[in-house]
Amino acid sequence: MKKQILALVVSLASAQSFAGATIYEHSYMKGERSYINDGELIDAIEKRGVFRNDSISSLKVDYGSCAVLYRDAGYSSTAKYFQGGTYVDLVNYGINDTTSSIQVFKSNRCDSSIMTHFRVHRDYRTGGGDFSLPPNSYLRDLEGGNWHRGNHANDKISSIIVGDGACVKMYEHYRYTGIKKEFNRNVATLDTYSFNDKASSVKVTTGSCSPSTPTGGGGVINPPDDCGGFGEICP
């Protein structure tokens, strides 16, 4: 009996050590495949070197992970959320052969409310989003990548919807340098903080936060940090 219990514990620990998602070219897990580890944010799916854009038809998500599939590059447009499980035909979810970017991350929740949504050149109350990031993700250079529908988002962010339990840290310059502003609640216009269209890098963290006051100016000057390339999740 003790050996059986030990074997079960080892089996469970082994299962929990794997976290991520496998994407497939065709339905029912057929065709080309590619495994995406937790913490990988792919702003354009063809960067995997396996798939063309708009060519994913089935998906398997490891338990404890969340996979978010977007119709457009740069984590924009329609998003579909998939928690741990097997999805044999994405036709059933309205996103077959239409995925252009994807995010995979550890989370027991998997829905829009945990995401932080950034709006470019507008108030978030006026409608849809421009790009979204999951908890604990860093972008060290908003000039690179495919944010904002295929274009960069450097010096363009005007408002944010902060995800549940998130702290958004926005920096004046790339690599998290220059003036920093922190937010743990939605901001309809960054003009209120004298930071409209001024962010060049951003972190979405969880835990402690030191929210900026809506008076503009000030902020903390930070040394360079290389964590977070084209959307990697950092410790």
**In angstroms, rounded to a whole number, what is the distance separating the alpha carbons of residues 204 and 160?**
11
Mean of the per-residue pLDDT values for the chain?
83
Paired sense of beta strands 116-120 and 137-139, if any:
unpaired
Structural tokens at position 181:
């502003």
pLDDT in tens, 179-221: 999 999 999 999 999 999 999 999 999 989 999 998 754 444 4
Residue 174 CA, distance from chain mean position: 18
Q: Among 195, 64, 70, which Cα is nearest to 132's?
A: 70
Q: pTM score, two decimals?
A: 0.82
Q: Which helix (H) or strand (E) is 85 found in, with range?
A: strand 76-87
Q: Could you report the per-residue pLDDT of 61-99, keeping only the tens digit for each?
A: 999 999 999 998 888 878 999 999 999 999 999 999 999
Cα 75 from Cα 104, distance rounded (Å): 12
Structure tokens belonging to residue 43: 């702003």
Tokens of 32: 């080309």
What does the chain come to in residues? 235
Which residue type sits at 3? K
Could you give the domains of the chain?
19-110 (2.60.20.10), 113-206 (2.60.20.10)
